[in-house]
Amino acid sequence: MARGNRLLRRLLKHQETRSPHSAPIGAEQILNRAAALLAATLISGAVAWTAMSAWAAEPSEWPPGGEWPGPTANLIGAAGFAVTAAVLVYGTFRPVSSAAVAALYAVAQGCLLAWLGTAFDLGSGGLLANALLGTVLTGLAALAIRRAPWGTRASLVVVPATAATGLAALALVNAALAATGRGLFATGVPWWGWCLVLVLAVWSAYSYRADLDLLDEHLATGAEDAWPAALAVATGPVGIYVWRLSDFRSRSIETSY
């Protein structure tokens, strides 16, 4: 409550002193940008995973006793990790307002998830299943709930049902691929594991909905936080934590108090 009051006072003070040329940015624009970032993550991840799966046929000798993808895949994975970590750490101190940096993060995130999927052998743990669904599914569910014409309460029923159907279809496709040795997720993931992922997706989406409602009021003052907010939605639970930690700060707000 105290944090919300501080934010409200900042917004009211900024509203009195903001530039007359500052234009409000609606949450709909944020969601459009978040959808573009999610698409970049999915596309880059699919391309990288396809390439790394082929490179994994020739494992490297590092670490000793382990079988990892080739050095090229490891380099891509390390670069993806470095970029995502750097942006998230930076985002805890200052909002990432650059569209180029947000796009770079989305691509790096996809490459990192693809590397995790090949380096850690999804057939014996399903690490990428948790990482990918925790990142992408929550973002997609947030977009669905925010844009649903039937309201938040009905969306909390429709979105989980749709997600459950998608997970079931994913499991069936994976089972068919696993029979040929090309399965993406572990077939032994327990049913409660998928349920936990689904609950996480819905909970995060509902949290995003509440945050975006607050952001509507925040952006009405003219603050330019569209890209940081879009990046938060596209990065899943970790991103929303960074977004909140930065407390919606921007240069225009910081200079107003």
pLDDT tens for 182-213 read 555 555 556 666 676 677 777 777 776 776 67
pLDDT of 16 above 50: no
Q: What is the DSSP string of the chain?
A: -HHHHHHHHHHHHHHHHS-TT-----HHHHHHHHHHHHHHHHHHHHHHHHHHHHHTTS-BS-STT--B--HHHHHHHHHHHHHHHHHHHHHTTS----HHHHHHHHHHHHHHHHHHHHHTTGGGT-HHHHHHIIIIIHHHHHHHHHH-TT-HHHHHHHHHHHHHHHHHHHHHHHHHHHTTT--SS-TT--HHHHHHHHHHHHHHHHHHHHHHHHHHHHHTTT---HHHHHHHHHTHHHHHHHHHHTTT--HHHHTT-
pLDDT of 40 above 60: yes
In this prediction, residue 79 carries a pLDDT of 95
In this prediction, residue 14 carries a pLDDT of 44
pLDDT of 3 above 50: no
Cβ count near 196 (within 10 Å) = 14
pLDDT tens for 115-166 read 877 766 544 444 555 555 566 667 777 777 777 777 777 777 777 777 677 7
What's this model's pTM, rounded to 2 decimal places? 0.66
230 or 67, which is more confident = 230
> Residue 61: exposed, middle, or buried by beta-carbon count in 10 A (0-12, 13-18, 19+)?
exposed
Q: Residue 246 — very low, low, confident or very high, per pLDDT cuts 50/70/90?
A: low
pLDDT tens for 65-117 read 445 667 888 899 899 999 988 988 887 777 778 889 999 999 998 898 888 77
